Structure 1
Amino acid sequence: MTRLVRWPGLARNGHSNLAAYRNIFVLVAALTLLQGAMAALAMVMSLKLLAGGVAELGIGFVAAAYSAGFLGGTLIAPHEIRRIGHIRTFTLLAGICALAALVLPLAGREVAGWSFLLALAGAGAAGMLTAGESWIANAAPAQSRGAILGFYHMVSKTGAIAAPFVVAGALAGFGAFMVVAGLFIAALLPVAATNRSQPELVAAKPFGPRRLLAQAPASVFAAFCAGAVNNSVAQLYPVFAAAMRPDDAAGFAAQLNGAILAGAMIGLWPVGLMSDRFDRRLVIAAAAALGALAAGGLALTAAIDVPLLTLALAAAFGAGSLSYYAVAVANAADRASPEEITSMMAGILVIWGIGSVIGPVIAGGFLQVLPGGAGLFLFAGLALGALMLACLSRMAISPPPLAEERAPFTVSPATSLAIAEFDPRGEGEQPDLFAEEATS
């Protein structure tokens, strides 16, 4: 049965459980601000480079540099957290991200300068996510992990929806860069102010691509496609918005981003319910088909000015393309033994990260070949169509796992390796570390 979002424990114990989870909520608030900073940075990056006359392919390279930094930060951050702790790591990296955002105007229109600074920001954001999510993972009581994970996923998306609207009102001059830096700094305040003990970091060691391909090839295809397509759209959608509404590029970009993420939030639950009842590969194929059709519609509407139609198609795209990653993780978990699930999920995230580096470069090329912004969604539609065919072909080759071998669907955002430890399908129970006051 799908794990639905609910306030963990409130129905049973009321205010006592709310008090027990207060620091979890504080960390969720910090990571929501972080998600907002990341979304705002993507919008500023695309629109500022576009306004500076940088070609779409160059913008794609900058987006790929950010993704490469993010992937590197995901892999390196656990070592830094073990060395200096969660709070110091979070604070250090928030400072690096804010500094990178403030120095960006000095890079002018130089792709190399933007790429270096965005790679730093990507690595820093990944490390902040690793520190925050691993802390929540260790603190969340085992019986409430699914509910807390769903709550975190839904709330953090509101930050990614709201922040671009804030940036849209401050895009002129240096205001947008200051907003992004301010969001990174604001994210560290709740973490720096806590007086609770920090957990020991337990980071999963990811499975390699070869082992993942042998055990769950459909999940590998889906994770790679999700990284390539969804990250490309998340980084480059302002180019599409600017082509459609050049007089209000920032405002329409914020609306487009909000529609895509709102569609993803709404579409996740029916997709999850279906994945518990049918072959998960079929559900991935259906979600990819919905995303491909919506992407095709968006590519066709690039030449016309019908905002409501565009936003409706964007929501449909989000419901399809941004929902199947969690199903891919569930499909991989079904094929792993209990002690392998955490490493399997971490490996799937690395595959997603590799796709997120490659995708923006290809998407940037499509944007340059097909002007008017349509190239972004043409690339997305073709990739999603290929994923649909790949999943259907896997269904014809191998049967699904037996019903008793399938774990319930759970929200699985593509953020950090720590999210694998957060997932309730992982083995072992974690202590509620927030129940004890720090001794120093």
Structure 2
Amino acid sequence: MLRVLAHSWPLLLGVMLLMVGNGVQGTLLGIRGNVEGFSTFQLSVVMSAYFVGFLFGSMRAPAMIRRVGHVRVFAALGSLISAILVIYPVFPDWVAWTLLRVLAGFCFSGIYITAESWLNNTATNETRGQALSAYMIVQMLGIIASQVLMNLPDTSGFALFIIPSVLVSLAFMPILLAATPAPTFESTRRLSFRELFRISPLGCVGMLLTGGVFSAMFGMASVWGAQVNLSVREISMFVGALYVGGLVLQYPIGWASDRMDRRKLIMGLSFIAAAAMAITAFANPPFVVLLGAAVLLGGITNPVYALLIAYTNDFLNREDMAAASAGLIFLNGFGAIFGPLITGWMMETFGSGGFFLFIAILFLALGTYALWRMSQRAAPAVTGGFSSLSPTASSLAVDAVLDRGQGGRG
């Protein structure tokens, strides 16, 4: 690990600063939108817009990089992000914020792909696993650190918009000055969604559902917190707890997944999450219990995402894994677009508990579908190793995980 840090610390530092900036933006807009008088539905549209841009960016960024080079794309998208972050308070209108969020999602998607390609390019086959583990850890730490900044006493002013803009600008310095050669992008064979569904129905349906869970969690958590009159400190603690859960529970769940039928684990975790979220929706628990629910929710959502990718790969030859991962990530991103929209509608229809109720319904659907699929097909005879993955990782990072984690299969 020390060897990885010695070679990759500029990239990892830059990624952490990017995640701090993006994390502040995601939480702050939900709080500030409530101050500006936006309705829950309007804020849900604003939050969904990020995932529209992110999905589009994941499809277009590799072509842009091949055409003009990764340095130019990185600099252009980074400059646009810095500008967007300081424009939000200048135009406190939900339609303007929606358009800005689409641009922000597009830019961050391109930035992640560029940073991940750099990291992958600097790593060797022997160090790639450690490098990607470090990458996932700094992503989580960056988001957790961003919630500390949310406690600065200026949610109604400009400072909390300027600080992430500065952090994003500073993030480019270590990355752009890193003495590493430019990575290359090669075309990847595509799998049709029909073929992907034939290979793994559970993988496809699960990725759609977890996309909705992930975007509802991280897009609407601050909106929910403002609606139930939590303080800024409490909202930041709740959002931070979601990521702490993902950081802490990823490894033990991954360890268990390599020793049992992954579908049983997906089913069990989904039912646990569904029950916990349903209870939270109707019980009106104290704040300390809400923090525990957040740790559990984040700790289940991130590993289940990785479990679905690992389960699908159990049925694939190595040469098909990259194409399958691209399709699964697209399905996850498509599902993410609708998460905040439906959550916003449910919060307006059923009250603040609709936030947890929507997530409970999605996990219940996933657990039920996993149970049904277990009656339709036997578990694969050979399973590959589980690798920690985050829904914020691009297909390039996932492909790199597959290269080091599944290289022995064929």
Q: TM-score normalized by structure 1?
A: 0.88
| More deviation, 387-396/280-289 | 280-289
* Residue 134 (1) aligns with residue 107 (2): no
Contact between 1:259 and 1:311, CA under 8 Å: does it hold in 2?
yes
After superposition, the C-alpha distances for 1:132-151 in whole angstroms (9 at most, x for unaligned) are: 01111222111222222122
2:147 pairs with one of 148, 158, 164: 164
Of 257, 282, 293, the residue aligned with 1:300 is 282
Q: Which residues in structure 2 correspond to 1:137-286 (within 5 Å)?
A: 137-169=120-152, 170-202=154-186, 204-246=188-230, 248=231, 250-286=232-268
Q: Aligned AA for 1:136?
A: L
* Aligned residue identity for 1:389: T
Look up the match of 1:313: 293
Instruction: Name segments (4+ residues, structure 1) moved above 6 Å.
Output: 426-429
1:400-415 equivalent positions in 2, closer than 5 A: 400-403=379-382, 406-414=383-391, 415=393
Task: Go from structure 1 to structure 2 and tell me whether the alpha carbon gap of 1:386 and 1:34 turns closer, same or farther (over 3 Å shift).
Answer: same
The equivalent residue for 1:104 is 88
Deviation of 1:180 (Å): 2.1
Q: Secondary structure of the equivalent of 1:322?
A: helix
1:418 equivalenced with 2:396 (yes/no): yes
The answer to which of 281-290 and 389-398 deviates more is 281-290
CA contact 1:298–1:314 (8 Å) conserved in 2? no
Percent identity of equivalent pairs: 24
Query: How far did residue 286 of structure 1 move?
Result: 1.6
Give the distance between the partners of 1:66 and 1:359, measured in 2 at CA.
12
1:77 maps onto 2:56 in alignment: no
CA distance in 2: counterparts of 1:276 and 1:336, whole angstroms: 16
Distance 1:187 1:400 in 2: 44
**The residue matched to 1:398 in structure 2 has which SS?**
coil
Long gaps (5+) in structure 2: none
2:325 maps to 1:345: yes
1:14-48 alpha-carbon deviations (Å, 9 max, x no partner): xxx35xx5342221221122122222111122111
Contact 1:65 1:118 in 2 (8 A): yes
1:78 and 1:51 map into 2 onto residues whose CA distance is: 38
**TM-score of the superposition, structure 2-length normalised?**
0.94
Provide the secondary structure at the position in 2 that maps to 1:423: helix
Residue 161 of structure 1 aligns with an amino acid whose one-letter code is I
In the alignment, is residue 53 of structure 1 matched against residue 33 of structure 2? Answer: no
Matched residue pairs, number?
A: 405
The letter of the residue matching 1:416 is: S
- Whether the aligned pair in 1 keeps the contact of 2:302 and 2:390 (CA below 8 Å) is no
1:376 aligns with one of 355, 358, 361: 355
Name the structure 2 match of 1:437: none
Range 96-105 or range 142-151, more displaced: 142-151
The alpha carbon displacement at 1:273 in A equals 1.2
